[in-house]
Amino acid sequence: MAKVSKRRTGLGSEHPYCDGIQNAMIILFLVVWGVDSAIMNYSVLPVGLAPLPLRIFLSVLSLGIGGRLVARSHNLVLHEAEHQTKLTDSDVYSLVRHPMYLGTLVFFLGFFFAIPSLLSLGILILFFILYDKMATYEENDLIRILGEEYVAYQKRVPKWFPRFRGKS
């Protein structure tokens, strides 16, 4: 699925407020997480629930997986499929329909794992809800453009949570 902004040619369109919503949510998450983690310590009670090595491992893993998903999907959509007029359903787009959005969420989950602030987790949940609304908007546009081909893709590939099982 090629998601591109109005400045580029390609298949489908982004939600009209996609960039603004993403930027606002990233800033909001980082500010809330940073202030709560470093200054206020208002909701960082879960810190003691998991040992530091486990939190670091989960944090690095999330940052790495999230960064990889964003980088791969960004490369596929903005470089390889920019002028494509067909569905992109290979690579990370064969795992989930919105790997760029999922990668961003998983990346920021890495911050939460490092220092689990409940306030920032609330922002991350709001971020997911907004991403889901933007993804639904974009999918409706792709259904309008591609019809049954995109509906079949929706049936084959999950929207958010990859299925890691053998192909039948």
Give yes or no for a contact between 56 and 114, defined as CB atoms under 8 angstroms apart: yes
Q: Stretch 92-109: mean pLDDT, rounded?
A: 94
Between 44 and 74, the more confident residue is 74
pTM beyond cutoff 0.85: no
pLDDT(164) > 90: no
Averaged pLDDT, 41-61: 82
Higher-scoring residue by pLDDT: 30, 18: 30
Q: What is the pLDDT of residue 76?
A: 85
| Confidence category of residue 36, pLDDT binned at 50, 70, 90 | confident
Q: What is the pLDDT of residue 62?
A: 97
Confidence of residue 89 (pLDDT cuts 50, 70, 90): confident
What average pLDDT does this structure show over 23-35? 91
